Chains A and B, each alone.
Chain A
Amino acid sequence: MATTTTIPSIRSGPGHAVPAPRRRSPFSGDWARLGAVLGLLVVGFLVSRVLNVPAWLGPFPDAFGQALMARLDSVYEWVVTNRNNSPLFVYGFNYVSVGLGTAVVVITQALVLLTWPGVVLLGALATWRVAGWRVTLVVLAAFAVFGLTGLWYEAMTTLSLIITSVLIALVIGIPLGVWAGQSDRVHAAVRPVLDFMQIMPAFAYLLPFVLMFGISNPAAAVVTTVYAMPPVVRITAMAIRGVDQGAIEATTSLGSTPWQLLTKVRLPMAKRTILLGVNQTIMLAVSMVVIASVIGAGGLGDAIYQALAKVNVGQAFEAGLAIVMLAIAMDRVTGAAGHGEHAPEIPRRLRLPVLGAGALAVVVVVLLARLAGVANWPDAVTVSIVGPVNSLEAGLQASIGGIASIGGDVLLHGVLNPLTALLTGTPWPVVVLVAAAIGWIFGGRRVALTSALALLTTGLLGVWENSMNTLAQVLVAAAITIAVGVVVGVLAARSDGLAAVLRPILDAMQTLPPFVYLIPAVALFGIGRIPALAAAFIFALPPVIRLVNDGLRGVSVAAVEAATSQGSTRWQVLTKVQLPLARPSLLLAVNQGIMMVLAMVVMGALVGAGSLGYDVVFGLAQNDLGLGLASGLAIVCLGLFLDRVTQGRRSDA
């Protein structure tokens, strides 16, 4: 999740180019119409209150939803009693689940067998060979953090889960991407599926996978694979498409077979871009294994999940640090391997001996470590930062806790409660119509239809009220995030100093797993919807700032100079030239901000935010498939609505 925004243009595909703004101020006409539509919503609400809603306009009819949930519950019962009888399982899903479970266990065992000195040496040598000595230092630092935080074993568990999932994602994703890169039809078929996979908040689809593949590692490996695969497919397809036509024609005219064309021309030429996709896939896998701890995946994510359950900020920070180091190390290794610049130059005839020497060194170290009895990282050699972090947090709470909770109450009473009342109190047909109208304004006819259908579906699933509740939370959190993000982004775009200071902070924030943000939020705001909003705000802020900053800096210098020479003030340059020209980036910032807020708000159920997220957690915890799955699907519907509306007009193109 954290890094989806690094290469924003990939997500939207070739249709991304937004036409230059047609109006001087691109938003004004839309805003007027939006205001009218929202006015309609308020009027609808007031009229229905005053006239005492007629029965047929009452709450969303939930007969269908109830029937669906009952049906799903019976599916659940069937699976539980037939998991080891039905051919569907014993010849199907169980193969996958036992295979994956075995793979994760075997890799973990292998890493334990290697002992920690062996793993460190192997990691360092392999990194040096593919990425050079600078990156090796980063990898060594990551290993040091694993050991010193006392989380060595957890890190190895997480690593083996990541290795398994990423391998599967690549084995499926690269061929699929190559295929989609060569065939327009496949590309057209695959794209909506990938879109859907990326819109789904990961939290929402844990339950069905647990049902199919069983609790713990197997399901965790599958969800991680599903979550991490889209970028490698997209980027591979893009890379294959981008291969120079001239080279292809030249090879074809020489009589190459299609297979030769692929292996000798297309793949080699696309290699560097494909490695970028691999990099993205790894980063997504890192962030997903943390979420997968909710279904018993263990490892570093589990350490964070436990810290959340204990409201222990220090412990969460420590485990978060280990994950950040893991992510940074894997990012640098794959990044450097993609460039291939820093890898040491080894003459061809020496390559095999170097490899052999490295392998020998690892074997010797492993044997020595085993003989010397230092196979496990010594408990004595750890540095705990739990204490200091916790006292820092306690100090922070003492100083701003009071103000924070007052601010929270104001937000709750002044904004969130009225908005929730508006959305849940207005007759549902009016809300659906308003959603359609908003879709029309921002995206055109097709988006209008999608929006209306998405909201209708949440109602049909039987969770209308909770959906509106969640929607209200998302809208409030997203509005605050985008407002703050745009201001900070503009400031960063105007000051190189600020941008330089922000960069590493934003990098670290984007790598931290989402759970981490919930913990200080609970400590500061107590439980309820406010801490969930606070966590969502912190989680979604970095990409918004980054996209706004990049967008503004990307505006051509000539346009700015032209405006300045005509005597425009700095404010005028900003509002009349820079912001309009950066419109695509701003739209993307809004889109990404909202989607990330949605992903986080549903996780807010872990700290008492209730509504849809709570039902997903409840479904997982109490094996209530009907409620859990219906709520998960409703989250996906909300995601679809919010995504389509904020993607702008290109969907019509």
Chain B
Amino acid sequence: MRNTPIGRVLTRTLAVLMTAVLVSSCAVRTSDMPRDPNTVRIAVNGWVGYEASAEVLAYLLRHEMGYEVQLMRIDEQPSWQALDQGVLDAIVENWGHEDLMELYGPEGNGTVVDGGPNGNDGYIGWYVPRYLVDRYPGIDTLEGIEENIEIFQTAETGGSGEFLGGDPAFVTQDQGMINAFGLDLEIVYAGSEAAQITEVRNRYANEEPALFYFYDPQWLLHELDLVRVELPPYEDGCDADPDQVPCGYPAYDLNKIFRAGFTEDGGSAYEFLDNWQWTNDDQNAVAQLIADEGMDPEEAAGQWVEDNPEVWESWIPDEGDVRR
């Protein structure tokens, strides 16, 4: 190679950098990322119910306790990863994920801990609109779906029936259930909760057939008349093989997940999140303001806080600890 000056400079710089790295014996852990102790970092997963919880908590932390709050929009599994890497402090609505708890929890990496229930009960299942049940009695059962499978055919799925999925990030065993029940259904993922709701609403307005993945707590259930499809009840281990799941979803006690370090150095912010518990109706009230009335999430949280002091006052830790 021609002895070009830039080449020499680069080689020299590289050599210096290499020695610097080798000489310095300090190993860097990802948790060494600098963190502002006055900022609480909460994950926001991709459904509006979660957003409602996170926004109300953020509002109280900001306005009642003087913290800065960073809400990071990120999917469920990556949120756990972020807790593990010390980038986030808390997940405020967790659906199951026993496998992740094994990986990152006290038995595994020891970087995250279970923060106990947040008061919400979670249900995941298959739903059809009420008008469909009136028109095709029994369509809210597996047999009914099988009999009437052709009404679910769409341009997108061709010969198979369409099963409308939600966000690719959501907890799902639908493909395993479809396999196990032997239904000729093809899953079309809407890509996000709102896209799925838009599609369901359009069909609802025209009374078109729809069969879809949905869940509770969910504000839309108060607006549209939807019926749960009867599925075989969940039994321990029936979802062991993801390709063959002959049962419905388990019932979830939704819980909080904290970064292990946050429980030690989180101060009154941690205490506050630890105290927090509310009902499905509380969450739906805020979620409905955000998603249906299109209110700015922060404003919606503010309005709920103003209207419901008796609910949240007990969450705030004793005055002495609060950084006002």
Contacts and interface: CB of A to CB of B under 8 A. Distances in A.
Interface of A: 80-81, 83-84, 87, 89-91, 94-95, 97-98, 101-102, 105-106, 109, 175, 178-179, 182-183, 185-186, 210, 214-217, 257-259, 261-262, 293, 295-296, 298, 302, 305-306, 308-312, 386, 390, 408-409, 412-413, 417, 522-523, 526-529, 605-608, 610, 614, 617-618, 620-623
B7 interface: yes
Contact of A621 (B2, B75, B156): B75
Contacts of B103: 80-81
Nearest to A82: B109
A262 B5 contact: yes
Interface stretch (B79-87, B132-140, B260-268, B308-316): B79-87
B74 interface: yes
A402 to B, nearest CB: 11
A347 B167 CA distance: 61
Contacts of B48: 310
B168 interface: yes
Contacts of B6: 175, 178-179, 182, 262
A310 B300 CA distance: 15
A215 B28 contact: no
Contacts of A106: 34
A296 B82 contact: yes
Contact of B30 (A84, A412, A522): A84
B108 interface: yes
Contacts of A607: 190-192, 195
Given A182-B6, A215-B85, A608-B190, A312 B294 contact: yes
A258 B3 contact: yes
A44 B303 CA distance: 65
B258 to A, nearest CB: 17
A310 B291 contact: yes
Nearest to B48: A310
Given A91-B27, A308-B192, A409-B155, A83 B85 contact: yes
Given A91-B21, A98-B30, A610 B81 contact: no
A80 B108 CA distance: 10
Contacts, number: 185
Nearest to A306: B73
Interface of B: 1-7, 9-10, 21, 27-34, 36, 46, 48, 70, 72-78, 81-82, 84-85, 87, 103-104, 108-109, 155-156, 158, 167-169, 188-196, 198-199, 202, 291, 294
Contacts of B1: 183, 185-186
A309 B85 contact: no
Contact of A528 (B188, B192, B198): B188
A239 B294 CA distance: 52
A345 B75 CA distance: 52
Given A102-B34, A621-B77, A621-B78, A527 B195 contact: yes
A199 B25 CA distance: 39
B169 A182 contact: no
A523 B193 CA distance: 14
Given A305-B73, A622-B168, A527 B87 contact: no
Nearest to B193: A309
Contacts of B21: 91, 95
Contact of A605 (B46, B70, B168, B199): B168
A97 B81 CA distance: 14
14 contacts: A80-B104, A90-B28, A94-B30, A98-B30, A175-B9, A214-B30, A214-B81, A214-B85, A216-B82, A306-B73, A311-B195, A312-B194, A527-B195, A621-B169
B133 to A, nearest CB: 23
A105 B78 CA distance: 20
A581 to B, nearest CB: 40
Contact of B155 (A89, A308, A412): A412
Given A621-B77, A621-B169, A105 B84 contact: no
B5 A259 contact: yes
A183 B194 contact: no
Nearest to B34: A102
A83 B193 CA distance: 32
Given A102-B34, A605-B191, A610-B188, A298 B72 contact: yes
Q: Which 8 A-B pairs have the closest CB atoms?
A: A621-B169, A90-B27, A94-B28, A621-B75, A296-B74, A309-B192, A259-B5, A528-B156
A408 B156 CA distance: 10
Given A105-B34, A527-B188, A216 B72 contact: yes
Q: Which of A87, A215, A293, A606 has the most chain B CB atoms inside 10 A of its CB?
A: A215
A413 B153 CA distance: 13
Contact of B199 (A258, A259, A526): A526
Contact of B168 (A259, A302, A312, A621): A621
A618 B170 CA distance: 10
A104 to B, nearest CB: 10
B108 A81 contact: yes
A614 B81 contact: no
A545 B272 CA distance: 57
Given A84-B29, A621-B78, A621-B168, A179 B155 contact: no
Nearest to B198: A311
Contacts of A258: 3-5
A174 to B, nearest CB: 10
Nearest to B170: A621
B109 A81 contact: yes
A209 to B, nearest CB: 13
A620 B75 CA distance: 9
Contacts of A606: 191-192
Contacts of B156: 412, 528-529, 608
B185 to A, nearest CB: 14
B106 to A, nearest CB: 14
Nearest to B76: A621
Nearest to B299: A379
A327 B135 CA distance: 54
A314 B29 CA distance: 42
Contacts of A623: 77-78, 81
Given A101-B33, A182-B4, A527-B199, A617 B10 contact: no
A412 B155 CA distance: 7
By CB atoms of chain A within 10 A, which of B7, B9, B168, B196 has the most? B168
Nearest to B75: A621
A215 B74 contact: yes
**Most chain B beta carbons < 10 A, residue from A178, A309, A617, A620:** A309
